[in-house]
Structure 1
Amino acid sequence: MPAIQLPEGYSYAVVAASSTIYLNIWQMSRVNKARKQAGIAYPQLYAEKAEVEASQSALVFNCTQRAHQNTLENAPHVILAMLVTGLKYPYVAAGFGGLWVVGRVLYTLGYSSGHPSNRNARGGILSTASFLGLILATTFTVGKLLMAEF
């Protein structure tokens, strides 16, 4: 198995991957604020249907919580894709990764407005498109790495 040599610019891919930490912290703070405003006690993960029907702040909490949860569901795959793609194409990895983070910020702002359909206006589309770009770039990168062995 050949040794992996990190290319010039790989640090940009690492920076993009590391920025997801700050995205997570920002989303956690939004969830905590929405939880407090809605009066949803721990360990309740989401407001119940009756709470949502009685309170707009409970709906906002659920939307904010769901935006964060959705990010957490995708983050491991996105981070791995950034780091793998960065082995051959660090600027591509950093670009798609940075766009994904920006998209997640916009997604969170739209979703946590209390109107769930707002999640896809710009933010959802941007984060999905950049994730698809990362998936394709990772597939191509892995193919090149495998071909280098033959």
Structure 2
Amino acid sequence: MSTITVPQGSSYVAASLLSTVFLLTWQTVKVSRARKLAGVEYPRLYADKAEMAASPAAVKFNCIQRAHANTLENIPQQYLMTILLGVKAPVVAASALGLWVVSRVAYTSGYASGDPTKRNNILTRITYMPALATLLFGSIWSVYTLVTEQV
């Protein structure tokens, strides 16, 4: 029978995963406030073109809503890569996910300005790719080493 050994430092991985709950909650609050200011009623996801032309608040709402949706679209793979890397290198995994969370805060803050080009600001640029590359290549390395240890 196989045993599962939780590597030392796994609490860091847990903390980094928990940080994403705060990120998503913060984004949700921003979306809710912007929705109210723009007057976009549920269940509509976005303000339409006419609303955007008439109201800067509607443009900002769409931008904030899109930043939140983009995070939700990407978070499952971030979780998976963090957990896979965390098996072999928990501190690296936690640090990379923490950096990814910082990149999402920068991305959301820039996007929330109402100017979509500001979503890729300098902080987003210097944090997103290193975080993503670490999680992607680190998780590949982790799985590879797990597989080769079994052989």
Into which bin does the TM-score normalised by the smaller protein fall? over 0.9
Residue 51 of structure 1, CA deviation: 0.7
In the TM superposition, residue 132 of structure 1 has moved relative to its aligned partner by 2.2
Distance in 1 (alpha carbons) for counterparts of 2:134 and 2:122: 16
Aligned to 2:102: 102
- Write out per-residue CA displacement over residues 13-62 of structure 1, whole angstroms, 9 at most, x where no aligned residue: 11101111111110000000000000000001000011111110000000
3-state DSSP class of the match of 1:59?
A: helix
Query: CA separation of 1:61/1:36 partners in 2, compared to 1, >3 Å: closer, same or farther?
Result: same
Query: CA RMSD for the aligned pairs?
Result: 1.2
- Deviation of residue 84 (structure 1)? 1.2
Instruction: Give 1 or 2: higher helix fraction.
Output: 2
Residues 56-71 of structure 1 correspond to what in structure 2 (within 5 A)?
56-71=56-71
Paired residue type of 1:30: K
2:135 equivalent in structure 1? 134
Aligned residues, how many? 150
Superposed CA deviations along residues 73-98 of structure 1, whole A, max 9, x for unmatched, are: 01111011111111110010011010
Provide the C-alpha distance between the structure 2 equivalents of 1:108 and 1:138, rounded to a whole number of angstroms: 26
From the superposition, tell whether residues 16 and 113 of structure 1 become closer, same or farther in structure 2 (CA, over 3 Å).
same
Say which SS state the counterpart of residue 88 (structure 2) adopts.
coil
Unaligned runs of 5+ in 2: none
Amino acid at match of 2:148: M
Change (3 A) 1:21 1:146: same
The letter for the 2-side match of 1:107 is: Y
Equivalent residue, structure 1, for 2:43: 43
Identity of aligned residues (%): 45
Cα deviation for residue 123 of structure 1 reads 4.4
Q: Using the TM superposition, give the Cα deviation of residue 124 of structure 1 relative to its aligned residue in structure 2, in angstroms.
A: 3.5
Partners of 2:93 and 2:132 lie apart in 1 by 10
TM-score by length of 1: 0.95
Correspondence for 1:10: 10
The whole-number CA distance in structure 2 between the counterparts of 1:80 and 1:134 is 9
